[in-house]
């Protein structure tokens, strides 16, 4: 079974913000595979289902971003998954253009507090990730203000496309095609239709 965790902050004020890109990708997967992410467990909203015939648990930690690791650690222990191969974390990245995605098998937190928390609680930086670009912050912006800000109407269109690409990448990843996903999506150019 795979745990697919999208990172974000709970509550209406945070809906649709750059920092909630992970939650938004979970919503795309939930709609596409008819999975209700409304059961509360281990300080998260979760939903059980299947993607491409593979059992999955869709997860939205409700701990607020900076404590995401607490929720994910508890779920990983409860469901006895191998974090290195059966955990996929989806989150926003300010170093990528809006809607661009990048898949990684491991790496540092890169200044992302949600990932920092997960690495700290898991005791490893080896787990699958899907980064969703939200664009670089303008020079005059504070980083926290930028990631907690909302998208313009035009940016929303780019992001919707990015969320769908991230969901497509997850399909590859849960069917043991991580390298294929990296080849397909870790490019600047638009991926071909799958």
Q: Which residues have C-beta within 8 Å of that of residue 175, sequence separation ≥ 6?
A: 52, 53, 54
Nearest Cα to Cα of residue 32 among 49, 8, 44: 49
Separation CA 90–CA 114 (nearest Å): 10
- Which residues are 56's β-sheet partners? 2, 49
What is the set of active-site residues? Answer: 19
Separation CA 76–CA 83 (nearest Å): 7
């Amino acid at each position: 079974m795979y745990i697919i965790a999208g990172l974000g902050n709970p509550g209406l004020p945070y809906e649709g913000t750059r920092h909630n890109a992970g939650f938004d990708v979970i919503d795309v997967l939930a709609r596409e595979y008819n999975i209700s992410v409304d059961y509360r467990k281990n300080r998260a909203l979760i939903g059980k289902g299947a993607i491409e015939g593979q059992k999955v648990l869709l997860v939205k930690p409700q701990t607020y971003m900076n404590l995401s690791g607490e929720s994910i650690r508890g779920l990983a222990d409860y469901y006895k998954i191998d974090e290195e191969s059966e955990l996929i974390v989806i989150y926003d990245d300010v170093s990528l253009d809006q809607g661009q995605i990048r898949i990684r098998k491991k790496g540092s937190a890169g200044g992302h507090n949600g990932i920092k928390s997960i690495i700290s609680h898991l005791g490893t930086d080896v787990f699958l990730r899907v980064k969703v670009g939200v664009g670089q912050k303008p020079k005059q912006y504070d980083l926290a203000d930028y990631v907690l800000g909302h998208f313009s109407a035009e940016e929303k269109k780019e992001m919707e496309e990015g969320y769908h690409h991230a969901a497509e990448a997850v399909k590859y990843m849960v069917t043991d095609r991580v390298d294929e996903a990296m080849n397909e999506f870790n490019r600047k150019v638009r991926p071909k239709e799958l």
